[in-house]
A = this chain, B = another copy of it.
Amino acid sequence: MFRIRRVHIDTQSERVVFIHEDAVQLGELGFQPLDRVNVIGGPIGDPSSAQITGILNFCRNGLVAPDQVGLSEVAFFDLGLPEDALVTPVFSPAPGSLEHVRAKLHGRELTYRNFESILGDVVRHRYSKVELAMFILACALNTINERELVDFTRAMINVGQRLRFGPGLIADKHCIGGVPGNRTSMIVVPILASLGMTVPKTSSRAITSPAGTADTMGTLAEVALRPEHMRSVVDEVGGCIAWGGALGLAPADDILITVERPMEIDTEPQMVASILAKKVTAGATHALIDIPIGDTAKVRSQEAARTLSDLFGRVSQKVGLTVETMITHVNGPVGVGIGPRLEALDVLAVLRGQRGAPVDLRERSIMIAARILEMTSHVPSGRGEAEAVRALDSGAAADTFERIRRAQGERSLPAAAQCREIKAVVSGRIREIDCWRIARVAKRAGAPAHAAAGVRLLETVGNNVLAGDPLYEIHAQSTSQLASAEEYAHGHHMIYQIDRH
Residues of A within 8 A of B (CB): 6-12, 18, 21, 24-25, 27-36, 44, 55, 57-63, 73, 88, 90-91, 93-94, 98, 102, 105, 128-131, 133-134, 137-138, 140-141, 258-259, 261-265, 440, 443-450, 453, 476-481, 483-484
Output the least CB separation between A12 and chain B (Å).
Answer: 5
Task: Please state if A10 and B128 are interface contacts (CB–CB under 8 Å).
Answer: no
Chain B residues near A25 (CB-CB < 8 A): 449
Q: Which 4 A-B pairs have the closest CB atoms?
A: A30-B446, A10-B58, A30-B450, A8-B60
Report the separation of the CA atoms of residues A44 and B481 in the bound assembly, to the nearest whole angstrom: 11
**Within the complex, which residue of B58, B105, B259, B481 is in contact with A91, where a contact is CB–CB below 8 Å?**
B481
Report the separation of the CA atoms of residues A28 and B479 in the bound assembly, to the nearest whole angstrom: 8
**Within the complex, which residue of B55, B88, B265, B483 is in contact with A102, where a contact is CB–CB below 8 Å?**
B265
Output the least CB separation between A172 and chain B (Å).
Answer: 27
Chain B residues near A258 (CB-CB < 8 A): 34
Chain B residues near A59 (CB-CB < 8 A): 7-10
Task: Please state if A447 and B30 are interface contacts (CB–CB under 8 Å).
Answer: yes
Q: If A8-B61, A265-B102 touch, does A478 touch B444 (CB 8 Å cutoff)?
A: no
Chain B residues near A443 (CB-CB < 8 A): 91
Task: Please state if A130 and B449 are interface contacts (CB–CB under 8 Å).
Answer: no
Task: Please state if B140 and A32 are interface contacts (CB–CB under 8 Å).
Answer: no
Chain B residues near A36 (CB-CB < 8 A): 262
How many monomers of this chain does the complex have? 2
Chain B residues near A63 (CB-CB < 8 A): 7-9, 63
Output the least CB separation between A129 and chain B (Å).
Answer: 5
**Within the complex, which residue of B60, B62, B447, B481 is in contact with A90, where a contact is CB–CB below 8 Å?**
B481
Task: Please state if B94 and A264 are interface contacts (CB–CB under 8 Å).
Answer: yes
Chain B residues near A105 (CB-CB < 8 A): 137, 140-141, 265
Chain B residues near A98 (CB-CB < 8 A): 264
Task: Please state if A449 and B24 are interface contacts (CB–CB under 8 Å).
Answer: yes
Task: Please state if B8 and A44 are interface contacts (CB–CB under 8 Å).
Answer: no
Chain B residues near A7 (CB-CB < 8 A): 59, 62-63
Nearest B residue (CB) for A60? B8
Task: Please state if A29 and B478 are interface contacts (CB–CB under 8 Å).
Answer: yes
Output the least CB separation between A443 and chain B (Å).
Answer: 8
Chain B residues near A27 (CB-CB < 8 A): 478
Task: Please state if A477 and B264 are interface contacts (CB–CB under 8 Å).
Answer: no
Task: Please state if A130 and B62 are interface contacts (CB–CB under 8 Å).
Answer: no
Chain B residues near A134 (CB-CB < 8 A): 133, 137, 263, 265
Output the least CB separation between A330 and chain B (Å).
Answer: 23
Task: Please state if A31 and B449 are interface contacts (CB–CB under 8 Å).
Answer: yes
Output the least CB separation between A90 and chain B (Å).
Answer: 5
**Within the complex, which residue of B28, B44, B130 is in contact with A259, where a contact is CB–CB below 8 Å?**
B130
Task: Please state if B10 and A478 are interface contacts (CB–CB under 8 Å).
Answer: no
Chain B residues near A12 (CB-CB < 8 A): 33-34
Chain B residues near A128 (CB-CB < 8 A): 262
Chain B residues near A450 (CB-CB < 8 A): 30
Task: Please state if A11 and B478 are interface contacts (CB–CB under 8 Å).
Answer: no
Nearest B residue (CB) for A487? B45
Report the separation of the CA atoms of residues A21 and B6 in the bound assembly, to the nearest whole angstrom: 16
Q: Can you identify 16 A-B contacts, CB atoms within 8 angstroms?
A: A7-B63, A8-B62, A9-B57, A10-B59, A30-B481, A34-B262, A35-B262, A36-B262, A44-B480, A55-B262, A91-B481, A93-B440, A98-B264, A128-B262, A130-B259, A137-B138
Chain B residues near A58 (CB-CB < 8 A): 9-10
Nearest B residue (CB) for A5? B62
Nearest B residue (CB) for A34? B262
Nearest B residue (CB) for A440? B93
Report the separation of the CA atoms of residues A21 and B105 in the bound assembly, to the nearest whole angstrom: 37
Report the separation of the CA atoms of residues A301 and B133 in the bound assembly, to the nearest whole angstrom: 30
Output the least CB separation between A495 and chain B (Å).
Answer: 15
